[in-house]
Amino acid sequence: MSYPKTPSDVQAIQQSVAAAEAAMTAVVKYLASNMTPTSEQAKTVLDEVLTSHNCHSPESRIVASGIKTHEPHYMGEGAISKGEPIVIDIYPQSKETGFFADMTRTVCLGEPASELQAIYNAVTQVHKQCVAQLQPGVSCDAIHQSAVDQFNSLGYQSTGVGSEFKFSEGFVHSIGHGLGRDVH
């Protein structure tokens, strides 16, 4: 294996993620129009698309729907329900370079409940504000704390001590992580 040498090496991994996202979304929509799609079916599609782009998911992948989507590393199983959040987390590895990509999206089949839409809007707002803070010299801890503060001000409190994560409720995950030869 070699290291990515050019932006095009990194772009190839990003393209595989985008292709997997598009294919999985299309298949879930198609299946939903004819039957109830499952997390397992969506993961099969992801695997096929990643393989066609010379990538694989040795660390797995997440397609989770419903109430358990609040758990950041819940892998997902069973039916994907309409109107419920669907968390898609793809972190494929390039078979050529050994480097990982990472992409997380939350989508919904059909019309989301108003509470789900409000949460989505809050996350979008906080994301935009955090991206605007990115610049040399600004620590990731400062941006993370800014996100926590913003969620708190929007009424989404992050409380309790979690086991794997900093909090047990609210914004439990960190703002991000590095990528390389290890997925996180």
- pLDDT tens-digit map of 106-125: 888 888 889 999 999 999 99
**Is the domain of 82 the same as that of 168?**
no
3-class SS of residue 88: strand
**Is the domain of 72 the same as that of 1?**
yes
**Is the domain of 72 the same as that of 142?**
no
Task: Say which residue, 48 or 181, is predicted with more confidence.
Answer: 48
**Is the domain of 60 the same as that of 79?**
yes
> What confidence score (pLDDT) does residue 1 get?
46
3-class SS of residue 100: strand
Domain that holds residue 93: 1-112
For 91, residues 6+ apart whose C-beta sits below 8 A from its C-beta are 57, 59, 61, 100, 101, 102, 103, 183
Got the DSSP string for 55-80? Answer: EE-TT-EEEEESGGGGSTT----SB-
**Is the domain of 98 the same as that of 135?**
no
For 139, residues 6+ apart whose C-beta sits below 8 A from its C-beta are none
Mean pLDDT of the region 149-160: 89
CA atoms within 13 A on the CB side of 32: 18
Where does a domain end: 54, 84, 112?
112
Where does a domain end: 60, 93, 112?
112
- Our count of domains for the chain comes to 2
Where does a domain end: 97, 112, 127?
112
CATH of the domain at 41: 3.90.230.10
